[in-house]
Amino acid sequence: MSVQIVMDRSGDTRHEFDAVDANAVALAESRFNELTGKGFRAVALGRDGGGSDRVVSRFDPNVEETLFIPQLQGG
Amino acid sequence: MDRLHRVLRALLRGALVEHGANAPSLVDIVVETGAEPRIWAEFANGYRASAPLRPDDCFAFCDAHAAWNLATLRSALRQEALQVYLVMRREHQLDRVRNQRTWVSEQMRRLGRGIAHSLRARRTHLIEDPNVGWFLDDRTSAAHQRGIRLLKENLSPAQLEQYERHAFFEVSGSTTGRRYRIRYGRSMNIDQLDKTGRRVCGWCFFPKGNLVAGDVMLAQKLAIELFEADALKSANKIW
């Protein structure tokens, strides 16, 4: 199972999908495009604390965990 | 209580209810004869009230006061009414004070409940973090803890150890290789360090959306480690 983690006011919202389920993948891709279109950054998490984290600009169903970070602003 | 007393009290109560604290003095009681006899109560401020009077109503009173003609009945009624009115006015004033006290105590009770409620509500927003102790979080504790859990899951072992001990962790910039220290917080919490670990300046940037502290710190970490230049473009520098 893959998961898309979206940061929000509740902490985060997780959307799990099965990478072999075409419908679920299509839905996940649509979510990816919608969020990145709104300015979210998608980061593929490596779960090793940073060494293999990478920014992804295109949807990849094989990424196990994708974290969506809202647009940054200066304070 | 005989029926005439009940009629008298009803007339006098009308004056008390109508005029409240400024209840007028009772001046006279008048018995109006005719086809439909009435009893009138007249007060100092001109207020008058009347009620039908049936012969049956008077019998017990007349018997008790030996008032067998109109003048004697009127005089006896007046005396009786003055005494009854005196007692009723006193009771009315006591009731008013009692009601005022009740109102005040009710308001105080509500105020107390309101304060207790607001404190209870805040109590649920008090978060205990091993690094910073108790603090008031403006989000729900569940959100806060989810954010902290997500952060901890994505820190390197060294960063996690630093965070657990000091409530901050260090990251390296992806473009410049500079060292940054991210302190617990949601804004104004990034220090740029020199090679010896001394603070050079501060940076302030965070993700939009009023996120919880854990999410903010994770976003700051990933931004510096993965797209430092872009992140600093949107940041404000603090000296």
Provide the number of structural domains found in chain A: 1
How many residue pairs from chains A and B have C-beta atoms closer than 8 A? 110
CB-based contact A70 B227, cutoff 8 Å: no
Only one residue has tokens 């102790």, namely B133
User: What is the pTM (predicted TM-score) of this model?
Assistant: 0.58
B interface toward A at CB cutoff 8 Å?
A: 139-140, 142-147, 149-150, 153-160, 171, 187-188, 204-212, 214-215, 218-219, 221-223, 225-227, 230-231, 234-236
In a domain? residue A59: yes
Q: How do residues B92-129 score in pLDDT, each as one tens digit?
A: 888 877 777 777 777 888 888 777 766 665 545 555 66
Range with the lowest mean pLDDT among A63-72, B16-25, B83-92, B192-201? B16-25
In a domain? residue A74: no
Convert chain A into a string of H (helix), E (strand) and C (coil): CEEEEEEECCEEEEEEECCCCHHHHHHHHHHHHHHHHCCCEEEECCCCCCCCCEEECCCCCCCCEEEEECCEEEC
Handedness of CA B58, B64, B68, B69 (dihedral sign): negative
Q: Would you place residue A44 in the very low, low, confident or very high pLDDT band (cuts 50, 70, 90)?
A: very high
Complex-level ipTM: 0.95
Q: Would you place residue B213 in the very low, low, confident or very high pLDDT band (cuts 50, 70, 90)?
A: very high
Q: Would you place residue B45 in the very low, low, confident or very high pLDDT band (cuts 50, 70, 90)?
A: confident
| Rounded Cα distance, B164 and B141, in Å | 19
Q: Collect all residues of chain A within an 8 Å Cβ-Cβ radius of residue B190.
A: none
Where are the domains positioned within chain B? 3-89, 122-238
DSSP B22: G
Instruction: Count CB atoms within 10 A of the CB of residue B45.
Output: 13
Q: Which domain holds residue A23?
A: 2-69
| Rounded Cα distance, A13 and B238, in Å | 33
In a domain? residue A31: yes
In a domain? residue A43: yes
Check whether A45 has a pLDDT greater than 70: yes
CB-based contact A72 B206, cutoff 8 Å: yes
CB B173 within 8 A of CB B203: no
**Closest residue, chain A, to B221 (C-alpha):** A50
In a domain? residue A75: no
